[in-house]
Amino acid sequence: MYRALIQSGSIECDAYERGDHGVDLYEDDEFVAFVPYENLLAVVDESAEGDEERSIL
């Protein structure tokens, strides 16, 4: 499960694809939304477990 964070909230999706101008979001292999990079803050993997020691890359 992924969460696309945008300026006005967030959109949950199962998968996403990066393109030249933004990301395409998919739920159950069906297109849900297109988010331009200008409006995208982050795509977060909700299934990743947190780590107490975090590093900045």
| 56: its two tokens | 């900045």
pLDDT at 48: 72
pTM score, whole prediction: 0.78
Give burial (CB, 10 Å; 0-12/13-18/19+) of 32.
Answer: middle
Helical residues (DSSP H) of the chain, grouped into ranges = none
Query: Splitting the chain (57 residues) into consecutive groups of 10 residues, what average pLDDT does each group show?
Result: 93 96 96 96 82 46
